[in-house]
Structure 1
């Protein structure tokens, strides 16, 4: 699993109560009822993770210059 896939899975597990993001070809496993505040929390976590990754890249680029 890639770093991104791992991160997205962790966010889904923590904020949405979704065990895996893999398609399992079963409606009861692939479709979930999720509260809007949980979706908001998951989106916020993904946004913050993106900011953090951008900071890491910027810091790495400065160190390599």
Structure 2
């Protein structure tokens, strides 16, 4: 059986998705506006985002 490799998302895309899902951020791009660039987030949201990033790194290492 041949395993089909799919292209992994870029690091930037992965981090953006984690920020959207866990931190409620629309983008990680700097928008030069305090109201758009600074956010108040809960510690459990930061913890969940860090865990997701760690797990994404582990998955990427297994696929390499």
Same-fold call, TM > 0.5?
Answer: yes
Unaligned runs of 5+ in 2: 1-8
Higher RCO structure (Cα 8 Å, ≥6 apart): 2
* TM-score, length-scaled by structure 2: 0.86
Unaligned runs of 5+ in 1: 58-65
Tell me which stretches of 4 or more aligned residues in structure 1 moved more than 2 Å: none
RMSD: 1.0
* TM-score, length-scaled by structure 1: 0.84
Select the structure that is richer in helix.
Answer: 1
